[in-house]
Amino acid sequence: MSERSRFLTCQNLDHVLSFHEALGFDLTCRQERQNPYLCLKHGDLDIHFSAVAGCEPENSPGSLIVLASDGGGLFDQFAAGPT
Per-residue pLDDT, 2: 55
Q: Spell out the per-residue pLDDT of the chain, length 83, in tens.
A: 556 667 899 999 999 999 999 988 999 999 998 899 999 998 888 899 999 888 887 887 778 888 888 889 888 988 887 76
- The closest of 9, 23, 24 to 64, measured between CA atoms, is 9
Q: Note the pLDDT of residue 55.
A: 85
pLDDT of residue 19: 93
**Domains of the chain, each with CATH number or no CATH:** 7-80 (3.10.180.10)
d(CA 46, CA 34): 22
